[in-house]
Structure 1
Amino acid sequence: MTDTREAGTADELVAAARQLFVAGVMSHSGHANLSARLDGERFLLSPGWVRDLKADEMATLNFDGEVVDGQLRAAGAEIIAMHSIVYRARPQVGAVIHTHSPAATAFAVAHRPLPCRTEPMLRFGQAEEVPVVPWGPRGSDVSVRGIAAVLEQRPTTAAVLLANHGLLVFGADPQGAAQLVTAIEESAEAELAARALGGAVDFPTGALEAVRASMARVVA
């Protein structure tokens, strides 16, 4: 790490990775990659397996995919563009997380958008269905263009499902992004379980506004 800010951001990513494992939303392999925006067009990126992630394992990259500090394994290099395209498209995004969370990945494999039918999704920033990005080889121009197109089409989504691959979530900071990963995985599990009971049911009209009002009262 080259400065105190980068070291602090790396610690936030380590904490977010730990948060995902504690929540039990990771795949058997523990595969994931996490990143956080730094100043200008730079971001910190984790390696691809983040179980017991350490701060000194991060690499600093620019949006063109060049490593400016640290080292990145060849396999990790494939996912740089997947993160940088989100930062380019969404200036307000401070962190990006990609996982193979099992229930969410089931929707990605089925090419089925995940509806927003649980309150945690509303509370943690995904008040709409999670759309599906058409399949493309990981990190390829096809995949990255697909992500960019969906982000343009769905300007308020905070997550996308990568067809036949997994989940990509973005938020203001690593903790917030990790909370949304957990909310989405729990919602995907509930959606699948509800099918045995006749199917999940949409929120009533005005649910988002009601949740926002409830949260505002707690903050006040």
Structure 2
Amino acid sequence: MKDAQVVTEQAHQLVEAAEGLFTAGVMSHSGHANLSARLDGERFLLTPGFVRGLRPEHLATVSLDGRVLAGELQSVSTEIIAMHSAVYRARPRVGAIIHTHSPAATAFAVAHRPLPCRTEPMLRFGQPEEVPVVPWGPRGSDVSVRGIADILERRPTTAAALLANHGLLVFGPDAAATAHLLVAIEESAEAEIAAAAIGGAVDFPEGALEAVRASIARVAS
């Protein structure tokens, strides 16, 4: 596949993912988010500093070492290149990353509390474990990036992380799958908070993940 075609396809997938997040109602009041998609082992597409009304031509191509290769970025997005690069370096199979300030998930980040996996969508969409918390560091700083890299090393199967006092970071094989998981995590965070008022959420029974996988396999066969 030609490079231009890869860029075009990935750009459209990021635009669709951003639109889907707004439609799902999981964005903060400001609509702040940044999305990226891997192009190859050295480059990825990144949103320019806004995602409301995002179009393919707004996206910039950047290198893992922080250089803007095509397009333009606002300073607010330049700061987070290192964050996205850290995930792509640590997880070669990750194809897309989304960072938001989704309200309920961010509540867990502000409280420095991992989000338990107690809803079936989290099992189905790729996070069958708690979402860990990365210690706070200034946005895009070495401290923050090192914290993310450390969590990815210590939690090799997690597909998401809560950034303390900041927001949510989710990553997956492509933009659509990553957006689906982000929605599942935000809904789970909402459910956890609501359940606290009626006695608290309850863990899945043992073997729940295997049961869900078997159910998915039956439908797919």
Q: CA deviation at 1:5?
A: 1.2
Asked whether 1:124 is paired with 2:99, we answer: no
Uncovered stretches (5+) of structure 2, i.e. residues with no partner: none
C-alpha root-mean-square deviation of aligned residues, in Å? Answer: 0.7
| Equivalent position of 2:6 in the other structure | 5
| Equivalent position of 1:54 in the other structure | 55
Q: CA deviation at 1:15?
A: 0.2
SS at match of 1:197: coil
Q: Which runs of 4+ in 1 moved over 2 A?
A: none
**Equivalenced residues, count:** 219
Q: CA deviation at 1:48?
A: 2.6
CA distance in 2, matches of 1:101, 1:149: 23
Q: CA deviation at 1:12?
A: 0.3
| Equivalent position of 1:110 in the other structure | 111
TM-score, normalising length: structure 1: 0.98
Give the partner amino acid of 2:99. Answer: H
Asked whether 1:190 is paired with 2:191, we answer: yes
| Equivalent position of 1:41 in the other structure | 42
List per-residue Cα deviations over 1:94-127 (Å, max 9, x = no partner): 0000000000000000000000000000000000
Q: CA deviation at 1:49?
A: 2.0
Aligned residues with identical type, % of pairs: 74
TM-score, normalising length: structure 2: 0.98
The 8 Å contact of residues 35 and 98 in structure 2, kept in 1 or not, is answered as: yes
SS at match of 1:33: strand
Uncovered stretches (5+) of structure 1, i.e. residues with no partner: none
Give the partner amino acid of 1:16. Answer: A
The 8 Å contact of residues 97 and 175 in structure 2, kept in 1 or not, is answered as: yes
SS at match of 1:3: helix
The 8 Å contact of residues 49 and 73 in structure 2, kept in 1 or not, is answered as: no
List per-residue Cα deviations over 1:170-194 (Å, max 9, x = no partner): 0000000000000000000000000
The 8 Å contact of residues 48 and 72 in structure 2, kept in 1 or not, is answered as: no
| Equivalent position of 1:219 in the other structure | 220
